[in-house]
Structure formats: C-alpha cells, structure tokens
C-alpha cells in the first residue's frame, strides 16, 4: 500500500459516520461486538483484551447537520455532544454494546447519564480518571476502576480477559504508542515530510481501526515518509494547544499549515499517546497500566496539575521539546477544560517570551478566512520580529 493509499484509507474512515467499516471489523472480533468511548482518554487495551473493538466517538465534525442534537443542548454548550446525540438518535451507534464516558468535563459526564436513558440496552460507564497527586493512592484507585472495566466488559463480550490476554493487548497498544510517538517525532523534525492533515487523519483512523491494522498502516506510512524529496518551506513552527476533545474541522488544520505554519506538536486526540512510555508487561498488567498513568503520562487540561509550577512550565517545555517558534491556543467554544486552562498556560508562555495567539472554533466551523489571516499574520510576525 502506498502512502497516498494509506491516507485515502484514513480519510474514508474519517468520513464514515455510519461506521460501516467499524461494524465490519466488530463483526470479525471473537465476540462480534464493539464498545465506544468519548474523548479524552480511555484504556482501549481493556476493550481489546475483552475481544471487542474499541471505537472512538468524536462527533460528526462538519459533516452532520444538527437537528435533533440541538434539542438536547442550550446555545452555550459546546458542539461535540450535539453531534454525538444527533448520530446516536440516527442509530449510528446502535452497533455498540457499550460506551465509556471518561471524566473529561461536566458535559461529557452528564452525557453519560443521558446515554443511560437514550440507550438503555447499552452498557454505560463513567470512567473517573484519577486526579490526585499521590501515585500510590491514585494508582490503587485507578487499578480498581480498570478491574471493574475488565469484569464488566468481560460480561458483555462473554469472554472475560485474563492476564495473558491483557498482556497481549497492552503489548499491541504499547507498539501503537511507540509508532505514534515516532510519527510525531518525525513530524517535529521534518514537518515538510508529514503534513499535519495526513498525521491527523491517521490518528483518527486509529480511533476506529483494529489496533493490529492501525499499527501496520503506521509502519508503512512511517517508512514511506522517509522516501522522496519534499520542499522545505519558510514557515513558522507552531504548537497547537487546546483541541483535545472536540476536534477542529480538517479544513482548520489545513488552513493553519497553508497560512504559513508548520504544526510541530498538538494535542489532537491526545488519549492515544497519553501514556508516554511502554506499560510494563511483567507482573500484574492492570497494576502496571494504572501505575503508568501516574509515572509517565502526558499533561492535559482534563487532569489536575499537582505541581504548583506545572502550568507555568508546561508550554515552555512543549515548545522547547519540538523547537517551536510559537503557540496557537485553539480551543472549542465553551470548552471548560481548554478555556479555563488557557490564561495559566498563556501566562507561562508569555513570561518566557513565547509568541502566542488564541482563537476558538467549533467542530462544524465552515469559514476559515479569519483563521487564515490570524495564523498567517502570526507566522509573518514570528518570521519578521520573532513574534514580538
């Protein structure tokens, strides 16, 4: 398969809001079932070990006209739950046997209760991620939560995961995270070789495709990315922050890059690489998975920052890690985690003289001219005056 074929494959999954392909894959699992999850982080390994297909639910983007979804939400609530409910009411998620709702924010949390009423036949679990700083107490709690999931998902699939199956699944997801990290690293070093549009589509595909297939595609894509010559353009290197839950439309990602920026780091779909190093396969895999969450995981606005200096230092660390020139804070309208975090993150960046701009979007934003102008001016200002 060529690079462009892989991108086409990913695009077809991105556009497949009927989940035709996912239904097919689900039917091919030993249980014949699939379990969905909302952003930002869910332990997909556990669904896989329970012989079911994990399916990331990221709303309808700019492809769905919202009719029924708006009847569930006031105007001042973000867009993703509207399109999720729209798709749910249209029957697009009927193939799921359950849905996990991670503790991302109060909107996702309350959607879990709505789902219990909308889909009483489906398993619904609110996944309370550990927030405390104490790794011992926190990982004990999180280990219990994972064990509850293992038990419940086993009952749904009829194939409860044992230690060996969990180990096998964790190993596959370790590999997946390695490949994702490699792709991100390659993009940060040579962003002209890996347009973020392509990287993003691959990441979205990874939320739906079986991990075995996704890993294979990533390996092929990574190898292909080294081939050929790509013109290096005079662009500013930017980090995009704040887009971890409701996803920006693909057009917005393209617009930022075409306006003169290379996106060299982002937090799109951050759950797929939240664990920054391999989960140990020795001993209890559940305990290891729980401990990994504490010992080495990505910082995100949906989790409490126990280090008082953490927020201040975060953006500088992220910028330094990828040698970026500036930051674009791109948050969905009405997104509590991103927008409440922004003043702290921006203050930390500006104290370190890192150029920043900020804007808001919705998943169905259709006009990009203002973003093009903003990102273009930002890029120019960095090039001309270092962003000052």
Q: Could you say which of 21, 63, 110, 297 contacts other proteins (CB under 8 A)?
A: 110
Cα 204 to Cα 318: distance, rounded to the nearest angstrom = 22
| Contact status: 384 vs other proteins (CB under 8 A) | no
CB atoms within 10 A of CB 347: 14
| Contact status: 374 vs other proteins (CB under 8 A) | no
Using CB under 8 A as the binding criterion, the count of chain residues that bind other proteins stands at 55
Q: Could you say which of 58, 73, 93, 293 contacts other proteins (CB under 8 A)?
A: 73
Q: What angle do CA 32, 83, 373 make, to 5 degrees?
A: 125
| Contact status: 113 vs other proteins (CB under 8 A) | yes
- Please, which of residues 309-368 interact with other proteins by CB under 8 A? 311-312, 331, 333-337, 339-344, 346-347, 360
Cis peptide before 40 (omega within 30 of 0): yes
CB 135 to other proteins: min, Å: 12
The closest of 159, 131, 140, 139 to 35, measured between CA atoms, is 159
| Contact status: 109 vs other proteins (CB under 8 A) | yes
Rg of the chain, C-alpha, whole Å = 20
Q: Using CB under 8 A, which of the segments 20-28, 52-60, 114-122, 318-326 binds other proteins? A: 114-122
The closest of 231, 204, 236, 232 to 217, measured between CA atoms, is 204
Tell me the per-residue interface mask from 132 to 161 with other proteins, x by CB under 8 A, - otherwise. Answer: xxx--x--xx--x-----------------
Q: Using CB under 8 A, which of the segments 23-31, 124-132, 214-222, 227-235 binds other proteins? A: 124-132
Paired residues of 35 in beta bridges: 54, 98
Cα 57 to Cα 204: distance, rounded to the nearest angstrom = 10
Give the start-end residues of each E strand in 89-207: 96-102, 123-127
| Contact status: 74 vs other proteins (CB under 8 A) | yes
Give the start-end residues of each E strand in 219-338: 236-241, 261-266, 326-332
Cα 199 to Cα 342: distance, rounded to the nearest angstrom = 25
Name the residue nearer to other proteins (CB basis): 3 or 347: 347
Residue ranges in contact with other proteins by CB under 8 A: 71-74, 76-77, 81, 101, 103, 105-107, 109-114, 116-117, 124-126, 128, 130-134, 137, 140-141, 144, 301, 304-306, 308, 311-312, 331, 333-337, 339-344, 346-347, 360
């Amino acid at each position: 398969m060529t690079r462009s074929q892989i991108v086409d494959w990913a695009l077809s999954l991105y556009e497949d809001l009927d989940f035709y392909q996912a239904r097919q894959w689900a039917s091919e699992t030993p249980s014949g079932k699939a379990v969905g999850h909302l952003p930002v982080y869910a332990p997909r390994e556990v669904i896989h070990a329970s012989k079911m297909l994990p399916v990331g639910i990221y709303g309808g983007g700019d492809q769905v006209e919202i009719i029924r979804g708006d009847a569930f939400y006031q105007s001042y609530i973000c867009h993703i739950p509207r399109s999720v409910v729209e798709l749910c009411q249209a029957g697009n998620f009927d193939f799921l046997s359950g849905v996990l709702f991670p503790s991302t924010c109060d909107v996702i949390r309350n959607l879990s209760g709505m789902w219990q009423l909308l889909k009483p036949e489906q398993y619904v679990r609110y996944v309370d991620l550990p927030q405390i700083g104490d790794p011992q107490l926190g990982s004990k709690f999180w280990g219990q939560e994972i064990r509850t999931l293992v038990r419940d998902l086993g009952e749904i699939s009829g194939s409860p995961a044992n230690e060996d199956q969990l180990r096998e699944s964790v190993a596959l997801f370790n590999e997946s995270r390695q490949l994702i990290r490699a792709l991100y690293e390659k993009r940060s070093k040579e962003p002209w070789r890996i347009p973020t549009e392509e990287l993003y589509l691959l990441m979205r595909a990874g939320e739906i495709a079986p991990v075995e297939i996704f890993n294979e595609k990533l390996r092929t894509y990574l190898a292909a990315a080294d081939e050929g010559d790509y013109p290096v353009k005079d662009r500013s290197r930017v980090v995009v922050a704040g887009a971890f839950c409701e996803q920006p439309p693909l057009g917005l990602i393209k617009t930022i890059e075409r306006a003169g920026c290379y996106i060299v780091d982002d937090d799109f779909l951050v759950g797929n690489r939240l664990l920054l190093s391999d989960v140990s396969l020795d001993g209890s895999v559940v305990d290891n998975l729980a401990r990994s969450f504490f010992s080495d995981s990505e910082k995100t606005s949906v989790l409490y920052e126990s280090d008082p200096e953490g927020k201040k230092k975060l953006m500088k660390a992220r910028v330094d890690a990828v040698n970026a020139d500036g930051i674009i804070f791109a948050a969905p309208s009405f997104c509590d985690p991103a927008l409440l975090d922004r003043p702290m993150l921006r203050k930390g960046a500006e104290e370190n003289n890192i150029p920043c701009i900020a804007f808001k979007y919705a998943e169905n934003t259709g006009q990009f001219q203002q973003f093009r102008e903003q990102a273009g001016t930002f890029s120019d200002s960095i090039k001309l005056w270092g962003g000052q």
